[in-house]
């Protein structure tokens, strides 16, 4: 029986869906008491499916999933997904046999997309102790694409104390409490040089202070993951020196030749009128004069057209959700248009099975795609991490 009346994307939903995902293992213990109380209050049972919108195919029972990306039946390792967005880390880790035992994402629209694809509502604000208290013990890897915030503390001494008041502090606090085998963080390239390197130094010192050895590298998706997007990010991988004795064998992925191009990610059959630019655009003449090749991608920069000379997609950003001019532009046989949200996902390496709920606006879809990670590159790094921790077990 499908019951659509009760649960929406809030922490009650998170408690119930996390319990249903993990109820047959020790990882379900933090959710069990509250989940059973909530189910009883809502006069529903574990045999009913609890969803956030009326789509009958979204079953949430572990043994009867119909979501696109169910957890593996016999996981090789476990992880948690913080600042989860739409689950780029989760897809990569699940592809390698990992099971997510906790997720957190504050944006309600992203929570809906997460639910639609994984059958789970992420918990909300991770800065709250009430949110942290549900994190299970004994998971293997902490994943987080945490937002970069300037550290206001002037000292930059040991590290941990200097991170207070930032979102990284909440990551560090969880690492301190739970001591996972590995930590995998992703952030913008500029994190490394921010404040003359002091921000990154504080992050690194903090993780080392907590007992971890830290590896880091800036990588571009077009150079390391065969994804035609110019997207540089810093990847930080940490191993618990007490639990992972072979950490010195870790290496980041090597570069690979870019074989895919923009045409592999663009759906030229898409004729949605809302994507195309017409006479109503004030600068349509400038757009037509500048957008002249079907083999490159352009951007509108207030008063001029900028061509991406590398023949790949420029870096997708969350700002795409704030206005059409922020979305990359292409020339097709049918006119000039912006990329669709699905095409933006393609340039992030998401599988075709990934879906956006029909109930969220295009602006939210663009924001979610731009905020996300390049899945194939995340997976390549994850593979290196899991090869270390599994051999160390």
**Which sequence positions are flagged as catalytic?**
148
**Residue 31: per-residue pLDDT:** 96
Segment 265-271 mean pLDDT: 96
Query: CB of 295 within 8 A of CB of 311?
Result: yes
Query: Is the confidence at residue 333, as pLDDT, over 90?
Result: yes
Which of 15-24, 121-130, 293-302, 366-375 has the lowest average pLDDT? 293-302
**pLDDT tens per residue across span 141-174:** 999 998 876 655 444 455 556 566 688 989 999 9
**Residue 5: per-residue pLDDT:** 35
**pLDDT tens per residue across span 3-29:** 333 334 578 999 999 999 999 899 999
In a domain, 149, yes or no: yes
Instruction: Band the pLDDT of 375: cuts 50, 70, 90.
Output: very high
Query: Is the confidence at residue 296, as pLDDT, over 60?
Result: yes
Instruction: Band the pLDDT of 330: cuts 50, 70, 90.
Output: very high
**Residue 8: per-residue pLDDT:** 46
Residues 334 and 282 in one domain: yes
Instruction: Band the pLDDT of 199: cuts 50, 70, 90.
Output: confident
Query: CB of 50 within 8 A of CB of 1?
Result: no
pTM above 0.75, yes or no: yes
**Residue 98: per-residue pLDDT:** 98
Segment 172-177 mean pLDDT: 96
C-alpha to C-alpha distance for 86 and 378, rounded to whole angstroms: 14
Residues 136 and 80 in one domain: yes
In a domain, 118, yes or no: yes
Residues 218 and 332 in one domain: no
In a domain, 171, yes or no: yes
Residue 375's Cβ-side half-sphere holds a number of Cα atoms within 13 Å equal to: 23
Residues 243 and 290 in one domain: no
Residues 305 and 202 in one domain: no
Identify the residue with better confidence: 325 or 129.
129
Number of domains composing the chain: 2
**Residue 272: per-residue pLDDT:** 95
**Residue 385: per-residue pLDDT:** 98
**Residue 7: per-residue pLDDT:** 39
Residues 95 and 136 in one domain: yes
Which of 39-43, 257-261, 377-381 has the lowest average pLDDT? 39-43
- The CATH code of the domain that includes 385 is 3.40.50.150
In a domain, 320, yes or no: yes
**Residue 40: per-residue pLDDT:** 84
Residues 158 and 273 in one domain: no
Instruction: Band the pLDDT of 63: cuts 50, 70, 90.
Output: very low
**Residue 50: per-residue pLDDT:** 44
**Residue 4: per-residue pLDDT:** 31
296, 316, 339 - which closes a domain: 339
In a domain, 383, yes or no: yes
**Residue 160: per-residue pLDDT:** 57
Residues 292 and 229 in one domain: no
**Residue 3: per-residue pLDDT:** 33
Identify the residue with better confidence: 3 or 233.
233
In a domain, 331, yes or no: yes
**Residue 292: per-residue pLDDT:** 94
Instruction: Band the pLDDT of 194: cuts 50, 70, 90.
Output: confident
Query: Is the confidence at residue 190, as pLDDT, over 50?
Result: yes
Which of 98-102, 194-198, 254-258, 355-359 has the lowest average pLDDT? 194-198
Residue 292, domain extent = 268-339
């Amino acid at each position: 029986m499908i019951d659509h009346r009760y649960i929406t994307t809030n922490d009650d939903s998170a408690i119930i869906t996390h319990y249903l995902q993990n109820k047959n293992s020790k990882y379900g213990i933090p959710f069990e008491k509250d989940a059973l109380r909530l189910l009883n209050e809502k006069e529903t049972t574990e045999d009913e499916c609890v969803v956030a919108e009326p789509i009958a195919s979204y079953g949430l029972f572990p043994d009867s999933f119909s979501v696109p990306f169910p957890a593996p039946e016999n996981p090789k390792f476990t992880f948690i997904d913080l600042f989860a967005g739409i689950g780029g880390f989760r897809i990569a880790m699940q592809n390698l046999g990992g099971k997510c035992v906790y997720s957190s994402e504050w944006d309600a629209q992203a929570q809906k997309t997460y639910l639609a694809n994984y059958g789970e509502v992420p918990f909300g604000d991770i800065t709250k102790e009430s949110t942290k208290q549900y994190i299970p013990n004994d998971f293997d890897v902490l994943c987080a694409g945490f937002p970069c915030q300037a550290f206001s503390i002037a000292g930059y001494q040991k590290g941990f104390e200097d991170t207070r008041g930032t979102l990284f502090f909440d990551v560090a606090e969880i690492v301190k409490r739970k001591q996972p085998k590995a930590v995998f963080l992703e952030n913008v390239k500029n994190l490394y040089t921010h404040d003359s390197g002091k921000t990154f130094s504080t992050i690194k010192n903090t993780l080392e202070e907590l007992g971890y050895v830290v590896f880091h590298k800036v990588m571009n998706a077009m150079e390391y993951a065969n994804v035609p997007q110019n997207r540089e990010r810093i990847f930080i991988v940490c191993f618990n020196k007490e639990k992972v004795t072979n950490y010195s064998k870790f290496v980041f992925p090597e570069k690979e030749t870019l074989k895919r191009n923009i045409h592999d990610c663009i759906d030229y059959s898409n004729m949605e009128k809302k994507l195309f630019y017409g006479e109503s655009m004030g600068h349509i003449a400038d757009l037509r004069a500048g957008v002249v090749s079907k083999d490159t991608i352009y951007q509108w920069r207030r008063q001029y057209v900028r061509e991406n000379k590398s023949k790949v997609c420029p870096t997708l950003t969350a700002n795409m959700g704030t206005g059409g001019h922020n979305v990359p532009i292409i020339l097709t046989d049918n006119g000039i248009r912006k990329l669709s949200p699905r095409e933006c996902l393609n340039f992030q390496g998401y599988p075709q099975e990934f879906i956006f709920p029909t109930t969220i606006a295009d602006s939210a879809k663009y924001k979610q795609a731009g905020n996300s990670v390049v899945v194939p590159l995340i997976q390549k790094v994850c593979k290196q991490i899991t090869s270390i921790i599994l051999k160390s077990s």
